[in-house]
Structure 1
Amino acid sequence: MQILIAFIIGAVIGIGIHFQLHQRLTRGVVLAPMIGAVSAGLVWTILTWAGVGIDTPWPWLAALIVPIVVTYPAIILISRLRVAHDSNEKARLKIG
């Protein structure tokens, strides 16, 4: 059941990253929290299957660090790709 805490931690970190970064209107509001939640849950699952218990600090630290390391660059990349795609489409359609 502690994996739910990892999912919640990842989602909260994703929400913070979503509102911290620019170009919020180019991506959905749920994208960053989902990336954060999935990455935190995945690392928690991997560590649990590897035999690392919840009585050690490693799953808890991983649930805090991995969503930051994964979500921050992913959202920056997705935002840049969306802005570039939108500008190419505007140029192709000769609007704006």
Structure 2
Amino acid sequence: MYILLALIGACALGIAVHFMIADRDLRGVALAPAIATAASAILYTSLQWAGVGEDSIWLWLASVLGAVAIAALATWALTRLRRRSDAAARAALGI
């Protein structure tokens, strides 16, 4: 049940990531929170399988703040990729 706390925290901070990164009109509103939630689930589960207990601060830091860092980097990279592909499409069309 503790995994829900990590997932909700990562999702809420993922919403903040969406609003902190520029060019919001180039991506969906659910992209950053979805990436943060998925990364949090993977990190939390992996650390639990590795034997890290629920009382360890490293489990929570990795699964919440680490997931938000992953979401920020992925969202920034996808936005930059989208900006580049849009520029290439405009150049190809002569717009």
TM over 0.5: yes
1:7-55 deviation line (CA, Å, top 9, x unaligned): 1111111111100110000011111001101111111001111111112
CA contact (8 A) 1:9 1:40 kept: no
Offset, 1:83: 0.7
What are the residue-to-residue correspondences of 1:1-96 with 2, within 5 Å? 1-95=1-95
1:37-83 deviation line (CA, Å, top 9, x unaligned): 11111110011111111122221111222123211111111111101
Unpaired runs of at least 5, structure 1: none
CA contact (8 A) 2:36 2:71 kept: yes
**SS at 1:69 equivalent:** helix
Unpaired runs of at least 5, structure 2: none
CA contact (8 A) 2:10 2:65 kept: no
Q: Please give the root-mean-square deviation of Cα atoms over the aligned residues, in Å.
A: 1.1
CA–CA distance in structure 2, aligned partners of residues 15 and 89 of structure 1 = 29
| Number of residue pairs matched by the alignment | 95
Give the letter aligned to residue 21 of structure 1. Answer: I
